[in-house]
Amino acid sequence: MTNDLLYQIALTLIPNVGCVPAKSLVEHFGNAEDIFKAKKNDLSAIENIGLVKASSIKAFEDFKVAEEEIKFIEKYKIQPLFIADKHYPQRLLNCYDPPTLLYYKGNADLNASKIVSIIGTRNNTDYGKQATEKMISELQDLNVLIVSGLAFGIDGIAHKSALQNDLRTVAVLAHGLHTIYPRQHKNLAKELVQQGGLLTELKSGEKPDKHNFPKRNRIVAGMADATIVIETAIKGGSMITAELANNYNRDVFALPGKITDSKSAGCNYLIQNNKAILFTDAKELSESLGWQSKKINKKPQRELFIELSEDEKTIISILKEKETTHIDEINIRSNLSSSSIAAAILNLELQNVIAGLPGKMYKIL
């Protein structure tokens, strides 16, 4: 473990300094150690900080807690993922409040090219169970990473179905990695570590208290290309996750149900109010997101005979590697500013060189 890990963990422990201020600090300093060594006046001048938060940073002395966490990480071979690390789930960086530090136990690629979150009620019906299992079996050829929250009901069904279909699946937890909640899913969690993973922003010892579940839900919503709501009541926790996904500019899909079924009331509401796309099968999902099955033969790309700027050439070179490419991948790999990417993509679309697809995907024409 690097010495900076001590400061990375400590950054998450400072009173009054949450994820949003921490993001501003990391963007300014580049690493956690320099944040603690900076002068108060320099800290207070940074966006989202001010004198109160700067004073909290300079007053922080409880490094012992961070040292104990490092011992836990080393003992159980947990992978810490700091917000500036390349293996950190990059889709979360496009969210307003990405976790400063994540704790990960598993082998799935958290930056897989296709990720969906599947959420729903803890008290599912047979209809919800069958719909979840059918969809995941249909997603098998697309090699999709399935994300959920390890809860009873739809979450557990999604994880189990992914395992049965040889798909990687990651559970985002509302507690530290010292325990598993619900305890009945302990064996399932062990399977996930072997064929996916367990992910949390909470250090060891943190319990599954009520206030931790919304924090968990924002990760479920933010780290995926799309969130699929299978069944939920009108005031179910899944409704919060769907709202978060919408706020993060992610695609939301919902399975329609009977108007008399309270467990489908939330899904029907989302569809009716244009907060979710009506979902019935995986084909609709993949088409909406611009995903292509690996069984489909790729057509050779035509050569381009128009004059392109350097930014446009960079984007074209990225798009040539795949049938379709997500905007997040273009952002990460191009090393261009958001404004430069937007301008280049607009010019390429106007020249009919590339096309934008649903789900923020792009392809060469």
Domains in the chain with CATH codes? 4-105 (1.10.150.20), 107-289 (3.40.50.450), 310-364 (1.10.10.10)
pLDDT tens digits for range 113-135:
999 999 999 999 999 999 999 99
Between these two residues, 165 and 323, which has the higher pLDDT value?
A: 165
pLDDT per position as a tens digit, 133-181 = 999 999 998 999 999 999 999 999 999 999 999 999 999 999 999 999 9
Whose tokens are 């179905």? That residue is 161
Confidence band of 296 (pLDDT split at 50, 70, 90): very low
pLDDT for residue 100: 97
pTM: 0.79
Residue 25, pLDDT score: 95
pLDDT at residue number 299: 46
pLDDT at residue 1 in the model = 47
